[in-house]
Structure 1
Amino acid sequence: MTRRTDRGAGAVADSPQGRGHTVAVVVPEPADAARLVELQPPGAEIAVVCLRAGAKDGRAALDRSLTASDGRAVAGPRVLGVDGTDDPATVAALLDALGDIAPDRLHTLDPDPVHSSFDKATGTPAYDVPAAHAETAAGVLAAARAWQTETGRPLSVDCHRALSDLRFGLDACRRYPTPVNWLSAGFDGRLTAFLPTAAGVVRNWQDAQGRWSGPEVVEGPGLLPGLLVLPDPRGLPHLFALRRTPRGDGGVDVEVVHAAQYRTGPGSLTPWHSLGGPNAADWRRGRAVGFPAAAFDGAGTLFVFVRNFGHSISWRCRPADGRWTAWQHLGGARVADDLVAVTAPHGGVEVYGRLRDTAGVVRWSPGHDGTWTEDRTLPFAPRPGTLAPAPEPGLVLFRDLHTGEAVAWSSAARTVLPLGAPEGTGPLATARGVDLDGWSYSVLLTSGTDGTGRVGAYPEGRPDTGTWWQDLGTPTHTTPAATVTRTGRLTAAAWAPGGELVLAHREERPGALAFGAWHAARG
């Protein structure tokens, strides 16, 4: 095994970021691993686990990928010789392998792939990928949950969409997106950080003296490895995810779930509440539901949107009286999994979806009578996995499909606004209300292609004036986050290898956006 000694820029006091980022790639056969190996970042230590030896050409493809892994340490493939379902023997073999690897992150396939066709006569979806892909992913998720429960060590998981385009990087291939804006500030200025893991959502939080507690795993059997964190009009975080539950008849139910945190502290997250799904009447259709997007309108109504089985958009909402409406369908253009919902300048909610069959975006917005209007004329195309809400109403963030540059779209001005940072990857996180020499600024955060976090800033509401960027000074393999407390304090955060939370606070320097030394969030 060849090991990389350069672990990236930045230094974190008393944290594990000096060690490698260990990635386990777990798939049915070597041919399935080749694509996933190519997506791993420089500096990663990759261990490949295959359930079966596979065919000769598949082993050769994996060998080529491992040989081309410049700047990455590689080991494997390790062949387990099991059938790939989620039966006890397979889970036990996978659990042993994970014990040997001790990964920080695990990559596998999609347990609920998107169908390619549908037989209306029998009600049966057809798929372009072997059934072993979904079966293996289900077994891997079960083993990953068991390993994290036994060790107490947070394990992040990525499930890869079949036939996704490797040119656009890891975020374009994720079935369940990693969260942006996962750092939240309570009324009293105490912070909470959320991380989706194999065993559920992990929380770290501050006590009244500013000391950190956690990680605490929020109970949620069957939660899939994705998370949306959305602040309500009072700034309190609401969480959305997908939950996968085996059925007695051999099928699975996949449903949208919602929880909220109304205070900072241990056990403060509400129980997960099921919102079902738009195709819940038939589990074979319902399992294909896309990951949720959500937003609050100016009146405090909570809207939730998903991509449905037919690849259009479905939605339901909870008005101020607290009673959820039924799922309704928007129809219209066929969309991919990428959705983002934002509050519009007029106080309503808009939802954007990346088109499935062509490069572009569709936007839906409600009129004064509540009727939704579809707009397919938007003059931009985002990279898969990069649509995100901007800090200000009416703005959407993404990366340009062709250049990778960070871009904002203004629905009011119908203008595309370049934000720079072409070297970054994935969606952008945000914070607003950052005071700089008496002016209010919005802050953007991203992970660079070299695994180093970056931060940018522009005058709030004026991304057209230009964004200046600088390194955050810490390695991170997920999008960093930041938040501003009610007292105006800006804090940036990132997840270190092993799931440890690290933080840096803004230093007050005239004319500068500077952060102090990064440190581990400990009591």
Structure 2
Amino acid sequence: MTRRSDGTRSTGSSGPVGSGGAPDGRGHLVAVVVPEPGDAVAVVERAVAGSEIAVVCLRAGGKDGRAALDRALAAAESRGCRAHGGPRVLGVDPADALPALREELRALDPERLHTLDPDPVHTGMDEASGVPSYGVPDAHTETAAVALAAARAHQTETGRPLYVDCLRAERGPGDTAAVRHPAPVNWLSAGFDGRLTAFWPTAAGVVRWYEELPGGRWRGPELLEGPGLLPGLLVVRDPHGLPHLLGLRRTARGDGGVDVEVVHTAQYRTGRPLAPWSTLGGPNAAAWRKGREVGFPAAAFDAAGDLWVFVRNFGHSVSHRRRSADGGWTPWQHLSGLRVADDLVAVTAEHGGVELFARARDTSAVLRWCQGPDGSWREDRSLPFAARPGSLAPAAEPGAVLFRDARTGRTCFWRPGAPGPYPLDDPESGSGAPSAARGVELAGWGYSVLVGRGTDGTCALGAHPAGRPDTGVWWQEAGAPSFGAPAAAVGRSGRLAVATRLPGGRLLVARRDESRDGLVLDGWRAVGG
């Protein structure tokens, strides 16, 4: 059975979406590493159904904090989570915690690790020293730094991917705790020869899975070189379809500070080594305390092959750099406008240029920047929608975006010039932003495909005529569990592939069965791990 976004239903195989069977997934252990029990509350609130939560605290904390954590764990159990015993208290300060925390991770061997933000945004400035002040205790950042170090060491020791989320203490509109380093949306890519590649960030750097032959055996997960990478990733494709990777790298300074910089690489041949990571620095790199606050990058290619990279800077406005097709970079430049949150999405517009969307810092409103004929940037504050934090993503159509409505939670589509957004699914039908792919042909017509994670943790597949989301989207459960956001990719031949992640470094992968009518998958295969 399929469901259209306007609420009507269609039975049988007449709708454009179908699916095959899938092997079952299993629950996964999440280690929550915090200074004291009360600091774990906001982190536990984000736990999804199926998680087994092990809280690791450096110190015992007070009675109120322990009671608040007990309530948070009870609420998580009502959502389908399970507590892995009581909080583990190491009894150490952050400066001395690395050996004890490494030993605890050996004992737990978690699938995921959740901790706090190592580089929080400032809440003020000390006028005398010019040093930023923060709304969180130093123990938060110190614990996050040692948790990242322990997680990297554990993954290096075991050889198994350890997925990490760093969560901000401050909360956004309609959110519990914001993720500092977002996971990729479009993390599956198809090469020139039809072979698929999947990328994902981990504690020790980016890992990759790839096909040895189209539709054949997979290799991975293999750890790609990239010391100091933080646990987030952006994957964008250039005009030739080649995947480019961007992220943040954090390195210690000799004076006791840290440098956080934007980095970039690319894969030019499936299965071959990536190009060396190159640093773009940051818009506030001259002062490390300001530079460490740089937001996670957004990026897109224009029709000429230039790569545009955007970040939220220390002042909560936007800065950008551009790499021309011949490889030269411009300096960081500033875009004026309202202050923004970390939710930035860059898209390639129909006219071939690049446009930027960003959620406002203090509200759920969305802003847009576009270039005029003279190349100057202008800000548009009149967008007729508001988005939930962390839900903005590029649509399959040029210049358009996907997001979850701030009020209803519905996935919506909007493109410049439209009087309002088009809802694509039912209210509260899932979480996060869907991955979008275009170029799928059905019965001689072009379709755009959406793949997302439903409320029950399974992969959902949808389709609508290319450029016409207003006609409604056909949705159907794709029959596979998904730990995190699934992704879709379309090869040069037009064949669709869908992938989800399972615990243990494995993927589930399915391709469209082109011998059948509609958008039917040929059955899921577990690969890697």
Given candidates 76, 83, 107, the residue that maps to 2:93 is 83
Residues 120-199 of structure 1 mapped to structure 2, 5 A cutoff: 120-165=127-172, 167-168=174-175, 173-199=178-204
Matched, 1:453 2:420: no
Superposition deviation, residue 321 in structure 1: 2.5
Given candidates 253, 258, 261, the residue that maps to 1:255 is 261
Distance 1:166 1:367 in 2: 32
Given candidates 501, 506, 521, the residue that maps to 2:507 is 501
Contact 2:245 2:266 in 1 (8 A): yes
Query: Per-residue CA shift, 1:106-159, capped at 9, x if unaligned?
Result: 110000001111235422111111010000000000000000000011011000
Superposition deviation, residue 337 in structure 1: 0.4
Given candidates 117, 122, 128, the residue that maps to 1:115 is 122
Q: Which residue of 1 aligns with 2:480?
A: 474
Residues 4-403 of structure 1 mapped to structure 2, 5 A cutoff: 12-13=22-23, 17-68=24-75, 69-70=77-78, 71-74=80-83, 75-85=85-95, 89-165=96-172, 167-168=174-175, 173-208=178-213, 210-267=216-273, 269-403=274-408
Residue 53 of structure 2 aligns to a residue whose secondary structure is strand
More deviation, 23-32/411-420: 411-420
Contact 1:53 1:81 in 2 (8 A): yes
Matched, 1:409 2:418: no
Alpha-carbon spacing, 1:448–1:211, altered in 2? closer, same or farther (3 Å): same
Distance 2:326 2:229 in 1: 28
Query: Per-residue CA shift, 1:408-461, capped at 9, x if unaligned?
Result: 111143531111143110111111111112111111111112211111111011
Alpha-carbon spacing, 1:154–1:327, altered in 2? closer, same or farther (3 Å): same
Residue 279 of structure 2 aligns to a residue whose secondary structure is strand
Query: Per-residue CA shift, 1:36-65, capped at 9, x if unaligned?
Result: 112111121111111100011000111111
Superposition deviation, residue 221 in structure 1: 1.0
Superposition deviation, residue 266 in structure 1: 3.8
- Partner AA of 1:56 in structure 2: K
Residue 183 of structure 2 aligns to a residue whose secondary structure is coil
Contact 2:25 2:481 in 1 (8 A): no
Contact 2:56 2:89 in 1 (8 A): yes
By relative contact order (CA 8 Å, sep 6+), the higher-ranking structure is 2
Distance 1:486 1:370 in 2: 32
TM-score, normalization by structure 2:
0.93
Residue 132 of structure 2 aligns to a residue whose secondary structure is strand
Distance 2:383 2:248 in 1: 29
Q: Which residue of 2 aligns with 1:521?
A: 527
Superposition deviation, residue 339 in structure 1: 0.3
Distance 1:123 1:67 in 2: 44
Alpha-carbon spacing, 1:168–1:510, altered in 2? closer, same or farther (3 Å): farther
Contact 1:10 1:475 in 2 (8 A): no
Distance 2:74 2:390 in 1: 28
- Partner AA of 2:323 in structure 1: R
Residue 36 of structure 1 aligns to a residue whose secondary structure is helix
Query: Per-residue CA shift, 1:217-247, capped at 9, x if unaligned?
Result: 1111110000000000000000000000010
Contact 2:440 2:496 in 1 (8 A): yes
- Partner AA of 1:459 in structure 2: P
- Partner AA of 1:175 in structure 2: R
Distance 1:359 1:495 in 2: 30
Moved over 4 A (4+): none
Residue 97 of structure 2 aligns to a residue whose secondary structure is helix
Alpha-carbon spacing, 1:277–1:180, altered in 2? closer, same or farther (3 Å): same
Distance 2:64 2:129 in 1: 36
Q: Which residue of 2 aligns with 1:4?
A: none
- Partner AA of 2:144 in structure 1: A
Alpha-carbon spacing, 1:421–1:431, altered in 2? closer, same or farther (3 Å): farther
More deviation, 32-41/381-390: 32-41
Q: Which runs of 5+ in 1 are unaligned?
A: 1-8
Contact 1:35 1:166 in 2 (8 A): no
Q: Which residue of 2 aligns with 1:464?
A: 470
After superposition, the CA RMSD in angstroms is 1.7
- Between the two proteins, the alignment pairs up a number of residues equal to 506
Q: Which residue of 1 aligns with 2:6?
A: none
Alpha-carbon spacing, 1:421–1:217, altered in 2? closer, same or farther (3 Å): farther
- Partner AA of 1:453 in structure 2: C
Given candidates 442, 446, 465, the residue that maps to 1:440 is 446
Matched, 1:429 2:435: yes
- Partner AA of 1:367 in structure 2: G
Alpha-carbon spacing, 1:400–1:375, altered in 2? closer, same or farther (3 Å): same
Contact 1:447 1:476 in 2 (8 A): yes
Superposition deviation, residue 76 in structure 1: 2.2
Alpha-carbon spacing, 1:327–1:162, altered in 2? closer, same or farther (3 Å): same
Distance 1:430 1:226 in 2: 19
TM-score, normalization by structure 1:
0.94
Alpha-carbon spacing, 1:150–1:416, altered in 2? closer, same or farther (3 Å): same
Alpha-carbon spacing, 1:421–1:226, altered in 2? closer, same or farther (3 Å): farther
Residue 60 of structure 1 aligns to a residue whose secondary structure is helix
Contact 2:506 2:528 in 1 (8 A): no
More deviation, 331-340/446-455: 446-455
Superposition deviation, residue 358 in structure 1: 2.3
Residue 469 of structure 1 aligns to a residue whose secondary structure is strand
Contact 1:41 1:450 in 2 (8 A): no
Superposition deviation, residue 166 in structure 1: 8.7
Superposition deviation, residue 499 in structure 1: 2.2
Q: Which residue of 1 aligns with 2:12?
A: none
